[in-house]
Amino acid sequence: MSEQFIHGYALLIGVGSTVDPRLSLPVTVKDALAVKTILTDPHLCAYPNDANHVRLLHDQGTTRNAVLDGLDWLAEKASADQGNRILIECLYW
């Protein structure tokens, strides 16, 4: 695949560590990173590897406000882009 998929947008969320260690899910960060790698691989999904197309929230970055802002960003991208697009949300709680 030689072209980038410029109409693809993704918000990837891996909660990872939490205030209560019993509720921490470190594997979710690895999963979100793996999905990002697949999405941005030029030979696979070919999403542009930038914050305008793929956003990753993990560990302390997964605050309520950050998640809500990310969902707002994703909705804005979906409504502004008239091309074919794929929206991906990976949520782990």
Instruction: Kindly state whether residue 46 falls inside one of the protein's structural domains.
Output: yes
Question: What is the mean pLDDT, run by run of 10 residues, along the chain of 93 residues?
Answer: 84 89 90 94 95 93 94 89 65 57
Predicted pLDDT at 12: 93
Q: Show the domain range for 73.
A: 8-90
Predicted pLDDT at 29: 93
Predicted pLDDT at 82: 73
Predicted pLDDT at 71: 92
Q: What is the DSSP string of the chain?
A: --S--TTEEEEEEE-B--SSGGG-BHHHHHHHHHHHHHHH-TTTT---SSTTTEEEEEGGG--HHHHHHHHHHHHHHHHH--S--EEEEE---
Predicted pLDDT at 40: 96
Instruction: Kindly state whether residue 43 falls inside one of the protein's structural domains.
Output: yes
Instruction: Kindly state whether residue 57 falls inside one of the protein's structural domains.
Output: yes
Predicted pLDDT at 52: 94
Instruction: Kindly state whether residue 1 falls inside one of the protein's structural domains.
Output: no
Predicted pLDDT at 27: 92
Domain total of the chain: 1
